[in-house]
């Protein structure tokens, strides 16, 4: 905490919005959350928040048209056959 009796030209005292300690305004930084905090409380935004996902194409490369015969129906074994 800076002593209150010290004077700096063009600087003023400011209270950190996170820890509450009094610092000079030249030591305060604005965070990505909008808070103005001291250097020891300042946290950068995580780089993972800027990752953009690639589009995932889940369409099948080829498929049976509707109404095509299903070969499993012909070869299906029922309980009556056993």
Indicate the domain borders of the chain. 1-44
pLDDT of 9: 85
Which pLDDT does position 8 carry in this prediction?
80
30 three-class SS: strand
pLDDT for residue 80 is more than 90: no
pLDDT tens, residue by residue, 29-68: 999 999 999 999 999 999 999 999 999 888 888 877 777 6
Position 48 scores a pLDDT of 93
Instruction: Calculate what percentage of the chain has a pLDDT beyond 90.
Output: 50
pLDDT at 7 over 70: yes
The count of other CB atoms within 10 Å of the CB of residue 13 is 13
């Amino acid at each position: 905490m800076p002593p209150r009796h010290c004077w700096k030209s063009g600087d003023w005292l400011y209270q950190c919005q996170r820890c509450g300690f009094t610092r000079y305004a030249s030591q305060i930084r604005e965070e990505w959350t909008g808070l103005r905090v001291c250097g020891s409380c300042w946290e950068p935004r995580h780089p993972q928040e800027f990752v953009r996902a690639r589009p995932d194409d889940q369409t099948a490369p080829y498929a049976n048209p509707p109404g095509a015969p299903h070969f499993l129906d012909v070869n299906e074994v029922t309980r009556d056959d056993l």
